[in-house]
């Protein structure tokens, strides 16, 4: 019986999608399902997907004429999945052949207390060249209590475990993908309320970094999450903080453990990122966050050029 679904949300992914899809098709676990949700692509994505689906019966391709945003698309591939385990697959990443089997082996070995599993991760560039090994061996997201797991993951600011293999019953205990810029961290916190993250000590996941991806687009990337939304009024970073608290509130944790989880959010995430909230406010009122600093630097330069009254 098929146990694992890979969900690939894509929009105009013709450049990297063939390699990403091929990496899933070449998993050493053959009995998998591959769901592709095409969010109204206007490039060759549709042709690529239809050709692949015609050759591989494991591929379930869904085409939508309207771009409803990345949040909707990530949620849609999950809604289309009906297997015991699920794994999101970005249309520009690579999962090495043992990814699926190694993750399922770890989930079977550790039991239901483990909500999800992720292998060690390497960063690749636009050409697929590995240029960084993530220091993820000591994430500490397998700690005994939820507040320890959340604290450790947030301090590491590690979002890549979202692309591991997740128990569907743990996902159903979360709110799924919420409409906020930090949706990945919010989901991970909710999953850590449901159980542990187990790390597979093999490099089996290549996460790609390139200039056109959303994570390097700044505040304007909020339009990718919700097309038509006015980016400078979205309070993107502030809403991430709010959703982290809401995610813990939504969990099935005892109230005392919820309090401990809430208490970790401030020192582990909110307080160190206060400048991001300041940028939200500055963007909303139309003021550059660097304006005051630039004025101070200009004043200092002017003061240095004025002769002193002292002899």
pLDDT of residue 307 exceeding 70: no
First to last CA, the chain: 90
Q: How far apart are CA 149 and CA 265, in angstroms?
A: 12
Closest CA to 107 of 160, 165, 146: 165
Q: Give residue 141's pLDDT.
A: 96
Q: How confident is the model at residue 260 (pLDDT cuts 50, 70, 90)?
A: very high
Q: How confident is the model at residue 278 (pLDDT cuts 50, 70, 90)?
A: confident
Instruction: Give the pLDDT confidence score for residue 30 in this predicted structure.
Output: 87
Contact 88, 163 (CB under 8 A): yes
How confident is the model over 78-99, as a mean pLDDT?
A: 97
Using the predicted structure, report yes or no on whether residue 221 has a pLDDT greater than 80: no
The pLDDT, as a whole number, for residue 311 is: 38
pLDDT higher than 70, residue 302: no
DSSP letter string, 117-178: EEEEEEEE-TTS-EEEE---TT--TT-SSHHHHHHHHHHHT--GGGGSEEEHHHHHTS--S-
- Structural domains of the chain ordered from first start: 1-92 (3.90.550.10), 110-157+178-306 (no CATH)
Question: For residues 70 and 221, is the Cβ–Cβ distance under 8 A?
Answer: no
Q: Is-contact 42 69, C-beta < 8 A?
A: no
* Per-residue pLDDT tens over the stretch 36-78: 999 999 999 999 999 999 999 999 999 999 999 899 999 999 9
pLDDT at 280: 76
Render pLDDT for 138-168 as a digit per residue (tens, 0 to 9): 899 999 999 999 999 999 999 999 999 999 9
Under 8 Å between Cβ of 261 and 297: no
Residue 106: predicted pLDDT:
97
The answer to whether the CB of 85 falls within 8 A of the CB of 166 is yes
Rounded mean pLDDT of 86-106?
97
Give the integer Cα–Cα distance in Å for 176 and 7: 14
Tell me which residue has tokens 């692509």: 41
For 164-203, write each residue's pLDDT tens digit.
999 999 999 999 999 888 899 999 999 999 999 999 999 9
Whether the full predicted model's pTM is greater than 0.85, yes or no, is yes
Distance of CA 239 to the CA centre of its chain: 16
* 217 vs 214: CA distance, rounded Å: 5
What is the arithmetic mean of pLDDT over 235-245?
Answer: 89
């Amino acid at each position: 019986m098929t146990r694992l679904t890979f969900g690939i949300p894509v929009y105009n992914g013709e450049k990297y999608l063939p390699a990403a899809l091929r990496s899933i098709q070449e998993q050493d676990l053959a009995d998998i399902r591959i769901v592709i949700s095409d969010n109204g692509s206007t490039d060759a994505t549709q042709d690529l997907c239809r050709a692949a689906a015609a050759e591989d019966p494991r591929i379930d391709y869904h085409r939508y004429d309207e771009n409803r945003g990345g949040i909707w698309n990530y949620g849609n591939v999950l809604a289309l999945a009906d297997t015991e385990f699920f794994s999101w697959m970005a249309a520009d990443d690579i999962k090495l052949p043992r990814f699926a089997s190694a993750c399922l082996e770890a989930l079977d070995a550790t039991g239901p207390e483990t909500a999800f599993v992720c292998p060690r991760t390497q960063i690749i560039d636009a050409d697929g060249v590995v240029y960084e090994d993530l220091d993820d061996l000591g994430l500490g997201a397998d700690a005994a209590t939820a507040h320890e797991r959340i604290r450790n993951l947030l301090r590491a600011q590690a979002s890549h475990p979202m692309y591991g293999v997740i128990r569907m019953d743990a996902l159903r205990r979360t709110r799924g993908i919420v409409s906020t810029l930090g949706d990945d961290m919010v989901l991970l916190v909710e999953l850590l309320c449901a159980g542990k993250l187990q790390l597979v000590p093999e490099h089996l996941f290549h996460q790609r970094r390139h200039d056109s991806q959303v994570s390097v687009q700044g505040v304007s990337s909020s339009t990718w999450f919700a097309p038509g939304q006015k980016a400078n009024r979205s309070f993107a970073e502030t809403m991430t903080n709010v959703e982290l608290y809401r995610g813990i509130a939504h969990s099935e944790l005892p109230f005392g453990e919820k309090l401990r989880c809430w208490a970790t959010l401030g020192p582990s995430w909110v307080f160190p990122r206060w400048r991001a909230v300041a940028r939200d406010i500055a963007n909303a009122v139309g003021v550059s966050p660097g304006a005051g600093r630039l004025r101070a630097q200009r004043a200092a330069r002017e003061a240095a050029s004025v002769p002193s009254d002292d002899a």
